[in-house]
Structure 1
Amino acid sequence: MHPIRTIARGLALTLAASGAVAALATSPTAQAAEAPGATGTNIVENFDTVPAPGWTTTNNSTPVGSISWFQGTATDATPTPGPFNSHEGANNAYIGANFNSTGSTGTISNWLITPMITGLSAGDTWSFYTRKPTVGGGQTDYPDRLEVRLAKGGSCNPGTGAASVGDFTTLLVSVNPTLVANVYPQSWTQYSGVIPQGAPTSGCLAFRYFVTGAGSLGSNSDYIGIDTFRYTHGEDPVVPDTTITEFTGAPGATVSASFTGSPDYAISGYECRLDGATWAACTSPVTYPDLAEGPHEFAVRAKAYSGNVDTSPAVRTFTVDTIAPSAVIDSAPVGTITTTEASVSFSSDDVDATYECRLDDGGWEECASPASFTGLPDGDHTIAVRATDTAGNLGAADSTSFSVDVTAPEPSITQAPLSPSTDGSATLEFSSDDEDATYECRLDDGDWATCTSPATFTDLPDGDHTISIRATDRHGNTSTATSTTFTVERPVVTPTGPKLTKIRLTAPKKVRSTKKFKATLTGLVPGAKVTVRWAGKTKRITVPAGRTKLTVTLKAPKVKKNKKVKLTATATANGKKLTATKKVKVRAKR
């Protein structure tokens, strides 16, 4: 047998044989008389003698062993020393129990019960010290277990049988609850606690030495001691404190509050009120539906079994806001715009509102006024705006619609002029992909002028000509120009008037780059063919009847620096050809 078990067993048998064990009363009912001062007063028990006044024991072990609870044995006792000394006082001033509470094998359920305590109240405190023998090197630790239980209501009967707890249905603490080796303390260790919540009553605390697989041949029981027991009534009634742990629902019209009180053992209930109404009993969580718009105040206070209430209730102020703000578009594009950008300005009846905008069927995005939208394609568009207040209420959307048209029509020449034209006139026909488009025409380098199809040009001088057209839609989008070229060449008429003798060419000495100017050729005869060459371009003209002078409009070329450009005019009539030249200085733009 293991040395630890041998010492404890030998000690117990020696004490039993000598009659030194002071056995306590072991009545099944364990209803001993109350110790002096137990009623409404504190209990202090150091177990200087066993039995202690008013304490009782009941051994419900299966089977019942040879020894119940006994006076502790000091380490200097003779002839057999004990395994340890008391926590305080005389060396043997503790109460003990061991594996002999049952037979060689069995279940120990050995009860040590306090005197009846009247005025047992939530918040009363208890404490004690316990230990088992020190396990040396190479020795086996037999786990042991001790429970502290509470019986309320004036009856302190532990019942019968090892499995019964009788009136002691409340477990306050269990030392080594799972019977694991090396857990039960091997030096004096204090355990303490508080009587849990409930109305004041009378009752008892009990120590239950409770070990399965116990006995001298078992593997779980050894030897335990208990010392320095204290039971203290609360000196002052508890004033509870209240805490709101969760508050939900605001700013909606239904709110819920969860709350708790402390110390929990003293709490008998709660009272709530809303907006200063009368306090009324409530439980957590409490819900208030259909609240009016505006500010509110919720308060809750805990109540103690003593009748005290929290003097500083927990309070939560909140505002109910279920009315959504309205968004109004103040300015926006109207009709059709000819740009790919649009801007809208908006406002709300709630100055703290935030906004979301949406273009067409896209998603809602945060925005602020004014909001700009870019890269808009041609077609119809809708911009919507909605507002959200600080309470999260989302208002209905306001919207505006408009169209984008940035695409110009595409004109085309459907019938070009005849070339060459022998009568000095030209007619062209044209259309576009926009049936509502309007048109402008230009002859050569002339100005643009409104025109319709077909357009006819008359009295054109002989030579090469260009007619350009462009189209504009109803929204003002103007196309690029499309052009056609042709030649006017009247039949040669043999002149009957005077012959060419000398021609003279006059023109400005200086012209600005890209600017138009006039050149004049004199000394001509009617019907003469005139060719004017300037800056890489050629004009061919027939001198009209009755004319001896001809004026042409020319355009200076674009130059980056000043340069002289040669102007040449050639006239041919009656088989005679005369040429005149002049150099014109073209000045670059500043």
Structure 2
Amino acid sequence: MKKLSSVAVLLVLFSIAIFMSGCGDAVQRNGEETLNHGSGFGLSQNFATARPNTFINSHPTDPSNSTDATFTYSCDKKRCSYKCKLDAGVWAKCPKSGKTYSGLSEGAHTFMVKAKNLANDLWDKTPASYSWTIDTSIPDTVISSGPSNPTFSTDASFVFSCTGAPCSSFECQMDGSGFTACSSPANYSGLSEGAHTFEVRAKNASGTPDPSPASYSWTIDQTPPETVITSNPANPSNSEDASFSFTCN
């Protein structure tokens, strides 16, 4: 058996040293266990810095008149787990499908969520957050009647009211033209042919509007239909009976 030369031995030892420098141990960062990778390999360094970014995809309106709140969230990695926190509470595991809170108190609240990259157990160092205010004195708005859909008429009348809390006034807008003071019923005339959307929001005594206005969409269609006879008796015919089928488009 041939003996390794001193140069070969040095090369082997050098390779082992490089490999070991790329390995790491578990360490604690901000109370979360992560991997402490060495800087021996570029791949290990990239692996160690592959922290996820967390995004809040849906949340309650601000302000909100509901004491319930539902959040959905995501991350920019293939597989993540999540921890959530509300106000001054502690971080706790939360479902991937979203988090719902019920019976919250009136006032200001802040929701926070952070993702963990399951490929390397690294947490997002900058959690996503959303702040909103619950004010149960804000009324909900309800539209109880409007034009038929579709309709031939260029006029429209809407009847509406508020629920959940007392309201002192209303604001309406047609086709995104801007909210202005209105009262029920709200009447419009001379509207153009085509699609339209009416929105109305109630306001409480302090002037805070419903953050989710009631809306109604419909179409004005004044184009007359074309009538088509699809079947008829022969001409001439020896029958005293006649049957016709017809349609419109």
TM-score range, shorter chain: 0.3 to 0.5
Larger helix percent: 2
Larger radius of gyration: 1
Q: TM-score, normalised by structure 1?
A: 0.19
Scaled by the length of structure 2, what TM-score is found?
0.41
